[in-house]
Amino acid sequence: MADLKDTQFYELKRVEEPNGFSTKFNSKKVKQVLLITGASLTAIIFLVFAITTGLSFTKTKKLTGQNENQKSNTEVSQTLTACEAGADVEFCKNRVTTENAITSGQVRACEGLPSDAYKSCVNLVAFDQKNLDYCKLVDGEGNTECSDHVRLLLATANNDYSACAGIANEDERLSCQNQIAPFFISEGRCSEVGLNETLCEKETLTSIKANGSPYDCGGLPDVDYQSCSDYFATLDSDSDGLNDWREASEFGTDRFVADTDADGYNDGVEVAGGFDPLN
């Protein structure tokens, strides 16, 4: 081991800079700086990766869409070429082009068709998409006819009776109202849309449910009859084990009295035992 007894040791002192800053090495602060710098670099690297991945995904998605469109266009072109071998080439091409426009939902696909075929194509796409803006591509009377029918489709799809008023053609307007009116009549809501109140005076599904009378279900349209019968099949007003629907339609017992014949046995027990609940 080296002999250190004659070795001189010097005390290291910090040197004060003229501006008052110290040159003393502060390991804690340096560590903090390194940690912050490291975290920042990690965040930057992650951000660059995310952006690169996103751009790559977008590019792939775009290329996929382009490939699908190219495939679709190729199929249409092949079908149009096949039309050349048919007896009525123009009719075939018009049909293929129109079908493609409807399937794609792109009204611009109708472009290039002869005048009448173009109007028909635009109308069909407008109807399929329920898009009034497409109707603007048709001039004059054709515009009105297209708009009227799209308004009818929109109104009936949403049971919007008031929207029928915006239809110019009287026959189309009446058709719109006649298709929607049954909905409000069945709900007993004639006054809401200005329908004659007498149309709503008959029993409706809503009123029958409110009054609790399964006997009235038979007077309803088929679409409401099933809903009415299903409703009463879930009720057992007298808790005798027989639902209201069966008591009314099958046994003729009183659905509000558990023991219709007052013999000491409730209707459900008598039916289960094979006895007549009315005697």
Q: Helix, strand or coil for residue 230?
A: helix
List, in order, residues 6 or more apart from 189 with CB less than 8 Å away: 200
Pair of tokens at residue 33: 């700086």
Query: How high is the pLDDT of residue 41?
Result: 57
pLDDT digits (tens, 9 = 90+) for 7-23: 454 444 444 544 444 44
- Give the end-to-end CA distance of the chain in Å, rounded to a whole number: 123
Q: CA nearest 180: which of 162, 161, 205, 153?
A: 161
pLDDT digits (tens, 9 = 90+) for 227-241: 888 888 888 989 999
Please list the residues that pair with 16 across neighbouring strands. 22
Query: How high is the pLDDT of residue 161?
Result: 95
The C-alpha atoms of residue 8 and residue 111 are separated, in whole angstroms, by 99
Judge whether 110 and 97 are in contact, CB under 8 Å.
yes
Spans of the chain below 50 pLDDT:
1-2, 4-5, 7, 9-15, 17-26, 30, 33-34, 60-71
Judge whether 239 and 254 are in contact, CB under 8 Å.
no
Pair of tokens at residue 207: 């009123």
Query: How high is the pLDDT of residue 213?
Result: 74
Judge whether 185 and 161 are in contact, CB under 8 Å.
no
Judge whether 153 and 127 are in contact, CB under 8 Å.
yes
Pair of tokens at residue 267: 């209707």
pTM here is 0.49
Q: Sign of the C-alpha dihedral, residues 18, 24, 29, 34?
A: positive
